[in-house]
Structure formats: C-alpha cells, structure tokens
Amino acid sequence: MAHILVIDDEQDICRLIEKVLGRDGHTVTARNSAAGLEASDLKPYDLLILDVMMPEVDGFSFCYQVRRAVDCPILFLTAKTMEQDIVEGFAMGGDDYIRKPFGVAELRARVTAHLRREGRQHHQTITSGRYYFDLSAREVHIRLSVPGADTEFEKIPLTRSEYQICEYLVRNKGQVFSLESILEAVLGYDSESDASAIRMHIKNIRGKFSKYSEQSACPISTVWGVGYKWQ
C-alpha cells in the first residue's frame, strides 16, 4: 500500500481523507500547511494531495517549487472550476484535480488509478522519427541534428501526465483514440472523471512541441469527430 501526503488547511478535509484512504490500507500523513516543506521531505511519499487555496503557500506554487525533484503523482483539491485555473495546475506539474466538494468514491478511484499507473512496468526505450522516449526516466527527447557521431537531442519539458499521454499514443502509433479511451487507458479514471482534462493536456503538449516546429511538426494529430493519434 502507498504512503500519501495530504496538505489542506481545512482540518475536516484532512480527517476525511485520512479515514477514507486509511480504510484502503494506505498510510496517510496530513498537514495543514506546505510552509517549511522541502522537496527532500517528500521522498517517502508515493502520492501527494494538495489543496489549491491555502495561506502562506498555495498548492500551485508548492507543486511548481518541488516538481522537478519529486516524481510521484500530484493531485489538486480545488473549488476552482474555470478552465484557465485547471490548465495552470497542469502547467505547474500536477497530474489531476478533484473538485470540492468531492465524493468518497471519486477520491478513492482517482488515487487508486494513479497508484496503479505508477506500478506499471515499462520497456527501456521507444524511437519514433525524431522522438526518443526514455521509458525508465519518463522523458521525451527530440533529435535536433542529422544522425551521426555528433547527434544532438533536447529534452522536451513535459509534465508527468503529458508524458504518459505521449507514451500511450506512441506505443499505439497510427491508431486513433477518443478522449475517453485515452482517459481510461492512460490515467485509469472511472466514469466520474472529466475527459476534458485530456484535451487540456494535449493542448499543453502541442504548445511545448511547437518550439520545434522547424525540426518536426507535433506528432499528435486530431482526427475530427473521432479523437487523436500519434502519426
């Protein structure tokens, strides 16, 4: 079972999450503030749940501060429902969000899905055109020069969820998937989840790939009325 850190300034929320996830066999540590926490303090945890609206240090800011050193899934608890707010959370390195007030079943399903995804086994590498996937490091690199002794690669700065979407699509190159299919296969969500999260992630992926448009167009293409594919 997993060791989960919950940071929320509402004590009742912390108690609820401790109770619910504790019943599933997880060890839950709860804090009412992220102030004073360093990335090194987060190494024991398999998953983080962060409230967005907190005094001193808000969830988005804390995620941004620690994400480069923390590889575990990060879920936001948020009362915000505007698309731009959700996009900002993904850009900070978050993997998912749970809207307040949330149901117990949704909380359990999302936590279980992300932990299950973490346990999947990977091969070592995948190459597709100019793109090189380091599956152990969970990184995507693009080749900037002609193959040879001095071949140059540059890492594309994807968030965890963006990487997982790219990996799933490249493993099934040429096959078209709907938003719902990607949601279920990559993030493992149940029916309570919102497939629009995948659309936002793909929008962010394309924005990051656009930097390399002169070398290679974004390999994720839209098949109108159907979904997306890696071409």
Range of the domain at 78: 3-118
Minimal CA–CA distance to 122: which of 60, 168, 76, 84?
168
SS3 171: helix
* 132/125 Cα distance (integer angstroms): 7
Q: pLDDT-derived band of residue 38, with 50, 70 and 90 as boundaries? A: confident
166, 140 contact by CB (below 8 A): yes
Are 218 and 132 found together in one domain?
A: yes
Are 173 and 206 found together in one domain?
A: yes
* 180/178 Cα distance (integer angstroms): 5
At 18 the pLDDT is 94
At 27 the pLDDT is 92
Q: What angle do CA 145, 149, 155 make, to 5 degrees?
A: 45
Q: Domain count of the chain? A: 2
Question: Tens of pLDDT along 40-60?
Answer: 888 889 899 999 988 889 998
Query: 171-198 burial, b if ≥16 CB within 10 A, otherwise e?
Result: beeeeebebebbbbbbbbbeeebeeebb
Which of 118, 138, 173 is the last residue before a domain boundary? Answer: 118
At 191 the pLDDT is 43
Minimal CA–CA distance to 162: which of 218, 112, 231?
218
* For residue 101, cis peptide bond before it (omega within 30 degrees of 0): yes
Are 155 and 224 found together in one domain?
A: yes
Are 20 and 107 found together in one domain?
A: yes
Q: pLDDT-derived band of residue 190, with 50, 70 and 90 as boundaries? A: low
Are 209 and 103 found together in one domain?
A: no
Which of 59, 87, 118 is the last residue before a domain boundary? Answer: 118
Which of 118, 142, 164 is the last residue before a domain boundary? Answer: 118
Are 161 and 219 found together in one domain?
A: yes
Continuous segment of H or E residues that includes residue 196? helix 196-209
Question: Tens of pLDDT along 52-94?
Answer: 988 889 998 899 888 877 878 899 998 866 666 677 788 788 8
Order of strands across the sheet that contains 125-128: 125-128, 131-134, 139-143, 153-156
The pLDDT of residue 1 is above 60? yes
For 102, list phi and psi in degrees, rounded to 5: -115, 155
At 180 the pLDDT is 87
SS3 214: coil
* 223/206 Cα distance (integer angstroms): 15
Q: Which of the two residues, 192 and 178, has the higher pLDDT score? A: 178
* 210/219 Cα distance (integer angstroms): 10
**DSSP strand E in the chain: where?**
3-7, 27-31, 47-51, 74-78, 96-99, 125-128, 131-134, 139-143, 153-156, 220-223, 227-230
At 14 the pLDDT is 95
Query: 43-72 burial, b if ≥16 CB within 10 A, otherwise e?
Result: eebbbbbbbbebeebebbebbbbbbeebeb
